[in-house]
Amino acid sequence: MSPLPTSFQLNNGVSIPTIGLGTWQAPPVRALGQVAAAVEHALKNGYRHIDAALIYQNENEVGDGIKASGVARKDIFVTSKLWNTRHDDVEGCLNDTLKSLGTDYVDLYLIHWPVRLVANEGSALFPVNPDGTRAVDKSWDMSKTWTSMEALLATGKVKAIGVCNWSIPYLEKLKQTWKVVPAVNQVELHPFCPQHDLVEWCRAEGILMEAYCPLGSTNSPLLGDPEVGAIAEKHGVSPATVLISYQINRGCVVLPKSVSTARIDSNLKAIALDQSDMKVLNEMAAKGKQQRVNTPLFGWDLGFDDWYEAQWKEKLANGGYSKWISASA
């Protein structure tokens, strides 16, 4: 088997490392220094890709870690994301991120969710209505946000633009008006939530997929799954290495997250998987293990037909995943 690539090429020719350090759910308290230490350690030990976001509320620390690493900014691929309450202020949100990171550009800027929240006196980040529901602007046209994203390319503040958590219906609608094809769609991807149809659709459009939560999440059954364990034993590696390698083998960037130096180091390892390995991993969801770990309660249809348990159980009952069992045979 050929060695795995260490980078992929975006549809605008920009190179992106296949493995990046995720910073979601990393402690946002700057005084603790955990995020800065994690980023610094990662960069000093081979990482060249950092995935950040304004809503993680730790971009100051990410910037501290980048600076402390001593690695030249030009050698680091940095991603950040537009938060939901800033769809009407795209460049302003980016400017806030750049200030926090201590840089004058990001390599990739993503729309975090295809959902606009309306900030209010209660919160600038997670506003809710008087009845406790999320303050979603259901009338907002996402093409407005994308037009503002496209305009950023001329400013030199971003090298590429893309989306995050976008389903096929949302992408198909955006396609009607986009002038620049998104370079990336970052979504939850792992063997329990492989999103084969979405990966296939994006590949046909030249959109690179990125996997967040590739190991599941805290207490996820993925790492202890016997099928994953058998593949790990076969190759003499950890289950985490199998799950990280799975994404690269299917042509997706992978973004494992950790503030543990040992796990940061081990998460940079990836191996080539053979066809039998990929068949097992590709079929796990279709055989009844479908499960998401990140389903925010926006109270809004995001276009995914497996967002909630009832949806994927209905899809399984109606044979909706069956083609992926035969396709990977």
**Count of all residues that appear for the chain in the document:** 329
Summarize pLDDT for 60-110 with one digit per residue, the tens.
999 999 999 999 999 999 999 999 999 999 999 999 999 999 999 999 999
Catalytic option among 56, 109, 170, 246:
56
Handedness of CA 64, 69, 72, 73 (dihedral sign): negative
Distance CA 90, CA 152 (A): 9
Instruction: List 260's β-bridge partners, or say none.
Output: none
More confident residue, 325 or 121: 121
Q: What is the model's pLDDT at position 116?
A: 96
CA dihedral 23→231→283→191, nearest 10 degrees, is -10
Average pLDDT value for the chain: 92
Higher-pLDDT residue of 275 and 318 is 275
Tokens linked to 270: 């990836």
pLDDT at 28: 59
Q: How confident is the model at residue 328 (pLDDT cuts 50, 70, 90)?
A: very low
Rounded distance, CA 13 to CA 33, Å?
35
Q: Is 167 helix (H, G, I), strand (E, B) or coil?
A: coil
Measured CA to CA, the distance from residue 317 to residue 128 in angstroms comes to 35
pLDDT tens digits, one per residue of 148-183? 999 999 999 999 999 999 999 999 999 999 999 999
pLDDT of residue 329: 34
Determine the pLDDT at residue 25.
67
Tokens matching residue 23 = 């910073």
> Which run of H or E residues covers position 211?
strand 208-212
**How high is the pLDDT of residue 86?**
98
- Using an 8 Å Cβ cutoff, are 97 and 103 in contact? no
Mean pLDDT calculated for residue range 11-19:
98
Q: Determine the 3-state secondary structure of 143 from DSSP.
A: helix
Q: How confident is the model at residue 26 (pLDDT cuts 50, 70, 90)?
A: low
- Whole-model pTM: value is 0.93
Six token digits for residue 118 = 């309306």
Mean pLDDT within 26-45: 83
Range scoring the smallest mean pLDDT among 223-232, 238-247, 304-313: 304-313
CA distance linking residue 76 with residue 186, whole number of Å: 19
pLDDT at residue 319, rounded to an integer? 62
User: In this predicted model, which residue has the larger pLDDT, 312 or 279?
Assistant: 279
pLDDT category, 133, cuts 50, 70, 90? confident
Predicted pLDDT of residue 157? 98
pLDDT in tens, 46-60: 999 999 999 999 999
Distance (Å, whole) CA 122 – CA 87: 18
**Does residue 308 have an active-site annotation?**
no
